[in-house]
Amino acid sequence: MMQRKLLFAMTVAVATALGAGCASRSEQPTQRSAGEFTDDAAITAKVKTAIATDVGARAAAAVSVDTYRGVVQLTGFVNDRDTASRAEEAAKKVSGVRSVKNDIRLKSSS
């Protein structure tokens, strides 16, 4: 009798764990697949090239580009707002970019 109760409890625990695992899969996963990682790396390279081409090599060197699931984040320090805006516009033109978060800062004048 005790073995049956233990077996029943274990079965319920396993079923609950499996059900919870299935439920979490319906939500967006927090880790990228290998394909997503590769796509993001390609987008990052294309954005860096676009910034170098459209804004200049100096701006491309000053701006860091990170991509996560097609969302591009630009960071770094530039001399003026025009350069930051042009870098953002260059990034938006790249195929595969879903959105751009422009966190480029202006260098202080001092």
User: What are 65-102's pLDDT values in tens digits?
Assistant: 999 999 999 999 999 999 999 999 999 999 999 999 99
What does each C-alpha distance from 20 to 10, 27, 44, 45 come to in angstroms?
Answer: 15, 11, 35, 38
Q: Which amino acid is at 63?
A: V
Please tell me whether residues 36 and 84 are part of one structural domain: yes
Range of the domain at 51: 32-110
Please tell me whether residues 20 and 39 are part of one structural domain: no
The pTM for the full model equals 0.70
User: Are the C-beta atoms of residues 96 and 38 closer than 8 Å to each other?
Assistant: no
Q: Among candidates 34, 44, 88, which has minimal Cα distance to 66?
A: 44
Please tell me whether residues 79 and 52 are part of one structural domain: yes
Please tell me whether residues 3 and 55 are part of one structural domain: no
Please tell me whether residues 43 and 72 are part of one structural domain: yes
Please tell me the predicted confidence (pLDDT) of residue 23. Answer: 45
Handedness of CA 58, 81, 51, 37 (dihedral sign): positive
Please tell me whether residues 16 and 46 are part of one structural domain: no
Q: What is the pLDDT of residues 19-70, one digit of tens each?
A: 544 444 445 667 888 888 899 999 999 999 999 999 999 999 999 999 999 9
